[in-house]
Structure formats: structure tokens, C-alpha cells
Chains A and B, each alone.
Chain A
Amino acid sequence: MSLFPEIIRIMAYVVGVLAFVGLNAAFLVWLERKVAGHIQRRIGPKEVGPFGVLQPVADGIKLISKQLVVPAQADSLLFRLSPVLTMTLAVTVFVVLPFGPSLVARDINIGLLLIFAFLSINVLALFIGGWGSNNKYAVVSAIRAVSQNVAYEVPMLIIVITMVMITSSMNLNVIVSQQGNLLQWHIFPWNGSILSPLAFLIFFVCTLAETNRAPFDLGEAESELVAGFHTEYSGMGFGLFFLGEYASVFVGCALASILFLGGWQCPLGIMPGVHWMLIKTYLLVFVVIWVRWTFPRTTLYGLLNLSWKVLVPFSLVILLVTAAQLKMPWPF
């Protein structure tokens, strides 16, 4: 392995991933505001550019040009570290996401594990941001975010273990290539587990909760907590949290489409490629946005009860049934 091509390769991937994360966030901000507008019978942004598509650019320029204010009593080290850490973790995860048969930065054997390893630190980044702000609203929000993330990581990982049992691989590209056409998708009960539609539902709900999206966005409940853990952040500090949030929404939906909906494979088995990955993922992202503007926010107790009393037992049942089914091929 010689050095020069390797460095070019790494730089190409870093630039590509960063560009994608930025464009993804810009597109999702625009999509979110447009969808929200239409759901609420208004038209959303329309002034900047055709259909308002340049609105995120204008917002970005505004954010970049603003001053970064560190509150006087805040823990300035943790306060500055938090948005950078959030962004870094979100970008790191993109390294193993397969966008196409060969369009993946590092095709490692345990890609699935890498994603969950790095996403599990994400909540620590949110917490030190909220704690370091030295603001009551931010601390309450950070505490909520931690308990919520801990609660929803459990059913999510159980579902992922179930999927690993079915696919017997943690390599995301291998998992995708097992699902050549529509009938082989893991979401259908005849592939692997009879409970996989339920598994998909639980995974999706957990994705919503893990990315702090409505109806589980208690960490940012505007009516009670101003803006949650990023209350004190101005300019691009806030912007980085935003980029990180949209990147994790994308990663969650991409994982759902890889595990259950065949990733970059075409439903009909013709012309697989990056376009299918993007179509499936953005359809799921659209559902995430749709859910946000349709359902009101839950309460904290409702949220924790849903995880510990409903999702955890159900995901354990799915795990057991799938294990039994894999050992005793059906009919039982």
C-alpha cells in the first residue's frame, strides 16, 4: 500500500462526506419547512430562489456570519467541545454507510457495530453541551436527552441483534446484497423472522427517539425549555447541532433502509445503485418529517414507559421468536 493514492483516497472521501452532510442538512431544512408548510396549509419558504430552495443557503450565511457567544459562567471548554463532537460523530458514521456496491469509504466487516458504537457517544456530546451551558433549561434538556437515549438504545440494539442473527453478518454491504429484489427484503415476514414488520416499526420508532425528533423531541420542547440543550448556542455552534441532527436522521433512515428495505438494491432487481439508496432513505426521512408535523409531543413519562414497558418486551419477544425460528425452520 503506497501512501500517496491512499491520502488522495482519504481526502476524497472526507471532502465527499462533508459535502454530503452539508448538502443533506440544507436539503432537509428546506424539505422540512416546505412539508411543514403544506401540512399546515401554507406554502413555506418561497422568496429565496425558485420554490425557496436557496433559503438554507441564506440561513447558512446568516449563521456563519454571527458571533459565537460563550456565556460568562459557562464551562467554556465543554461548551465549545460539544457541537464539534456532535458533528464529528455524525460524520464518522458515514464512513461505513454503503451508498452503492462499491461506493463506501471503508467496507469493514463490522460496519453495523461501528455505527452504533459512535452513535452511542452522541448523547454524551449533547449532555456536556447542555451541562456546560450553565443554564437550567439546558441542563433539564440534557438530562431528558440522556434518559431518553439510554431507554431507546436498548430496544434498538435488540432489534439490530435480531437482524444480525438473520443476516449473520455485520457488514452492511453483505446485508444489502442479500436483498436482491422486493420479495427478499428483510421487512417481509417470509425472510428470516415472522415478526420482522414489527421489528422494522420498533427500529423506526427508536430512530425517531434516538435522533430527538418529534414526537419524542422532549429535549427541545420549545414550550417548556426555550430551545433545550442548545439554548445558549449562537451562530454556527447552533448550526453544527443542526447539521449533526439532520445527519443522524439521515443515518438512522439509511440504516433502516439497509437493514430492512434492501439499501442500494432495486425493488425489481434491475439497475441497483446509489439512486435507490437515496430514494429509499429520503422516503423514510419524509416519513420522519411527516410524523413530526402530525403528532403532538409526548410527555417524558409516556416516552419512557413506551420504551421500557412496550418496546423492550416486544423486541425481546422478537429476538426469542427469531432465534427459535432460525433453529427450527418453519413450519415449526
Chain B
Amino acid sequence: MMPLFTVEGLAGLLFFVFVLLIILGALAATHAADLIRAVSGLALCMVGVAGIYYFLGSPFLSLMQILIYAGAICIAIVFAVMLAEPQGVRKFRRRHPIAGAGGLVASALLTWGLASLALKTAWPQAPEQINPGALEDVGRAMVTTFLVSFELISLVLMIVIVGALVLARQGRSRAGPEKSSNS
């Protein structure tokens, strides 16, 4: 155990702060009665995950986590909520009597499985410090080693966007068939 009042010791304390953020955020995301509170919890959880990345010496990944998950995904969810849900509607949903117990068992099994995997695997020793930022390395790896997967992901995103556009156009032409011709 490292002495607490050193830079490394305080950084270790920060690790627990981030873990706490993740747990609190996840609890808020799953248990909040209000959807916007749940989204805020999700954002908090994502910021905690970003903190863990930063702690593990990958600032680039950490900031991308904030930019994409907390910044973009949560805003997209907020967008969906504000289009779909009128304000003030709270979700009142009666759970099935065995749902709670079933969830508990399932999550216990999952936790046990993940924990035993993590403990049994012979992890390679983490490198001391990857070069700070590592932006160029990430870029180079994306267009050389992982080019195919990178392009496949962008293809999937392209399909999603085109599909969303098709759905949106269909909805619009049904609402106003005359107007669609001169737009």
C-alpha cells in the first residue's frame, strides 16, 4: 500500500473516486424515475469511465470517451427524450414478482464469471507509460493495421444514417404528399 500523501497516493485515491462515480452514475441511470435524471446518471458514469482511462495513462481515449459518450450519445438520448416524452410523465411500472430475484441471480452469475475470468487470465504486464496523447499512433494504427474494421464500422454507420433518412422521408411524405414535390 502506497503512502497516501504523495502524488501517486492521491492518484490512487482518485481511482476510487472514479469508481464511485461509475457506480453512482450507473445506479442513477438504472434506478431514476425520471428519464432525464437517468441520462444525467449515464453521463456521470461515462465521465467516471473516462477518468479511469485517464488514470490508466490514455488521455486521448479518455477525452474521446467524454466527447462521444457524455457529449454526443447522451445528447442524442436527450434529443430523443425531448421529442418523445412529454414533461412530467414518470414511469410507473410494476415489476414482475420474480423479476428482482432473477435479475439479482443473473447479475451475480455475470459478476462471478467476469471476476473469475479476470483473476484466471494471465494479463500481460502493462507498459510503464505509453507516449503521452498517442494521437499519431492511434491514427496510424487506424489506417494501417485496423483499416478493414475501421471501414466496416463506417459502413455500418453509413447504413444506419441512410436507413434513418429513408424512415424519416417515408413519415414525411405520408404527412404531406403535395408538399414533397416542390421541396
Contacts and interface: CB of A to CB of B under 8 A. Distances in A.
Interface of A: 1-3, 6, 75, 77-78, 81, 108-110, 113-114, 116-118, 120-121, 123-124, 127-128, 131-132, 134, 139, 142-143, 146-147, 149-150, 170
B37 A117 contact: no
A170 B37 contact: no
A113 B75 contact: no
Interface majority SS on A: helix, strand, loop or mixed? helix
B36 A110 contact: no
13 contacts: A3-B10, A75-B36, A75-B37, A78-B40, A109-B135, A110-B135, A117-B66, A121-B74, A123-B75, A127-B75, A127-B82, A128-B40, A146-B78
Contact of A146 (B10, B79, B88): B79
Interface residues of B, number: 30
Interface of B: 5-7, 10, 34, 36-37, 39-40, 43, 47, 59-60, 63-64, 66-67, 70-72, 74-75, 78-79, 82, 87-88, 132-133, 135
Interchain residue pairs A-B with the least CB separation, the first 6: A120-B71, A109-B133, A117-B67, A117-B66, A117-B63, A113-B63
Given A128-B40, A131-B36, A150-B75, A3 B63 contact: no
Nearest to A75: B34
Given A78-B37, A117-B67, A120-B70, A170 B7 contact: no
Interface majority SS on B: helix, strand, loop or mixed? helix
Contacts of B60: 110, 113
B34 A170 contact: no
A121 B71 CA distance: 5
Contacts of B78: 124, 127, 146
A60 to B, nearest CB: 29
B71 to A, nearest CB: 3
A109 B66 contact: no
B67 A116 contact: yes
